Structure 1
């Protein structure tokens, strides 16, 4: 073989090696960047069972939004918004989805409790009085002389005095009937009570399942008369102090999941049923859409983004709860909320 041939072969071999190296390098850099290795675990509790309104949290989990932030999150069902507050305060859970009104009462009575809200999700309140057209109750004042039904610890029942005061109801003319939550709507349909209290979307959908026509349902939402808001994301303050960046990442991922649920409600409900395959998808989709009415609120969310309201709203809400529950100590707004862990406004807007 000639010297020229050997030189050519060497150049060819060198070219192949260089090509392989360059090709590998280009292939390496063109690959999608994988999500960060999971670095932090968060124990989270919902306020209630796996239902439509809770879907955005599961969307954030199953779509990998938490994982993209380097978080490993476990999501447990809850047993009431008020219980979320005490469970997070005790450290049983790191974070949870709880009711701000229960938080205000809890912090008033337990000023040293280590729990605070870092994002307000329900910028309206689902607390309501619900009745049927054939009961002849067309205004809240018409509730006087009637029987109202609710479980003993029902949040809407507990805040009813504030609602009654602002609409001029004489509470001495109200008769309360206590029942288990499963009997609330059936007793209204049977006529055992004239009206019930609860979350409006829960009451309405339960009545629909009992073959009540939607046009026969009358709802008096408290937030039409009172400056009330609802559920938000609460965090154990010791956990928050030690892991502020984890909380920021959680909120960023949740808001991403919330936006995705608004844009893709059918997929959100499909994800929800991974936790409970027995759920009726049509019912849960309607429940989700009704919950979104107090989450994505024109004039609020499009101004402040998800998770935030003007502090004056919280101040007025505190006043309502202190008065309604006859609390001896008014907690300051700084004891109740800290919105500084939310992502920037441009990331929170719908």
Structure 2
């Protein structure tokens, strides 16, 4: 072999090496996700998927961020601050009303996770027992608008309960200290913490779930902006599938899932995490499986029913259509 031939062969080998190892085909796609709140059971699937490498298995490098409320998260997704966020159809609706461009692209919770919580005595209470009582909900929470419509759905006047604006951080303690009669609480989120705090005080918590008394919309799921879906259409399906794999793993082994989350966020309490994970499992997406739908796919009829309620809550017209709220992602 001549010197020139050896140089040519060497150049070819080096070029092949750099093509294989530097090709964008093999590079991971960087993705950001906003949890909408603190790490907790409702986010367990995303956290477990990241810890177990399910995202990297499909070529995604996911960075997960703490959020500061569902509505803010959806708005930040619309502004391009995050690629994906955890939100619900109502937050997407409000974002659209205000000129945003977000879409609900996958349902994690097939049912609403909200509830009215109370200090339990010798029997369970019903709505009939709550006339005139005060309920504390976050000062900027959409539940300030939801609760009056929920009462109407149960053929009760909007002022049947006194809805008070309370700082989210003190809703639980306000109930336990008797400053409010009832508390707005959420499965997979604040409810297990409230139950544990009550037990420490020698008290028990009773629950009236919205979904069991007339108000059953889709709960938390994955949201993205229209702009992101146009620019990077191949990413959403991968993110959804890997996330569901994470939720499956969390629900199959809550104890292990809690340990994985604690490695990322060591200040959390394991017993609370496990209780949250189990609550989310109860309202997961299994109905879609029975309907022969993809994991997380959204039923148009349910969005249409929800839109009717949302318009009543916020006195809006009919400009926002179901297609403005959701999109099922091909995968």
TM-score class, shorter? 0.7 to 0.9
- 1:201 and 1:290 in contact (8 A); partners too: yes
Return closer, same or farther for 1:284/1:231 CA change in 2, 3 Å cut-off.
same
SS in 1 for 2:199: coil
Give how far 1:128 is off.
Answer: 1.5
Distance 2:105 2:219 in 1: 13
1:241 aligns with 2:263: no
Q: Structure 1's 76 and 241: CA in aligned 2 closer, same or farther, altered over 3 A? A: same
Structure 1 residues 173 and 310, CA gap change in structure 2 (3 angstroms): closer
SS in 1 for 2:26: coil
Deviation at 1:83, TM superposition (A): 1.0
Match of 1:115 in 2: 102
Pairwise CA distance, 1:201? 4.3
Counterpart of 2:86? Answer: 97
Q: 8 Å contact 1:200–1:219 — kept in the other structure?
A: no
Match of 2:61 in 1: 72
**Distance of 2:46 and 2:188 partners within structure 1:** 18
Residue 137 of structure 1 deviates from its aligned partner by 7.4
Preserved contact between residue 322 and residue 330 of structure 1 (Cα < 8 Å): no
- 1:8 maps to which residue? none
Q: 1:135 to 1:167 in 2, by over 3 A?
A: farther
* Structure 2 residue 173 is the aligned partner of structure 1 residue 186: yes
Question: Where does the alignment leave 5 or more consecutive residues of structure 2 unmatched?
Answer: 1-24
Question: Partners of 2:94 and 2:122 in 1: how far apart?
Answer: 34
Counterpart of 2:251?
262
1:292 aligns with 2:247: no
Deviations 1:89-121 (A, max 9, x none): 0000111111211111221332xx221121111
Q: 1:272 to 1:302 in 2, by over 3 A?
A: farther
Counting only pairs closer than 5 Å after superposition, residues 115-264 of structure 1 correspond to structure 2 as 115-134=102-121, 138-212=125-199, 216-224=204-212, 225-264=214-253
Query: Relative to structure 1, is the Cα distance of residues 117 and 260 closer, same or farther in structure 2, using a 3 angstrom cutoff?
Result: same
Q: TM-score w.r.t. structure 1 length? A: 0.80
- Please give the alpha-carbon distance, in whole angstroms, between the structure 2 residues aligned to 1:144 and 1:135: 19
* Paired residues for 1:311-322 under 5 Å: 311-322=300-311
Secondary structure at the counterpart of residue 275 of structure 2 = helix
Aligned partner of residue 159 in structure 1, secondary structure? helix
Q: CA deviation at 1:135?
A: 9.7
Task: Write the distance in 2 (CA, Å) between the matches of 1:145 and 1:104.
Answer: 30
Contact kept, 8 Å, 2:105 with 2:221, in 1: the verdict is yes
CA contact (8 A) 1:188 1:195 kept: yes
Q: Hey, what's the Cα distance between the residues in 2 that align with 1:316 and 1:245?
A: 30
Q: Is the 8 A contact 1:318 1:330 kept in 2?
A: no
TM-superposed CA distance for 1:79, in Å, is: 1.0
TM-score, structure 2 normalization: 0.85
Q: CA deviation at 1:285?
A: 0.7
Query: 1:136, 1:109 → 2: CA distance?
Result: 44
- Change in Cα spacing, 1:211 to 1:217, as seen in structure 2 (3 Å) is closer
Unaligned runs of 5+ in 1: 1-35, 344-350
Say which one has the larger Rg: 1
Kept in 2, the 8 Å contact 1:122–1:294? The answer is: yes
What CA RMSD, in Å, does the superposition of the two structures yield over aligned residues? 2.2
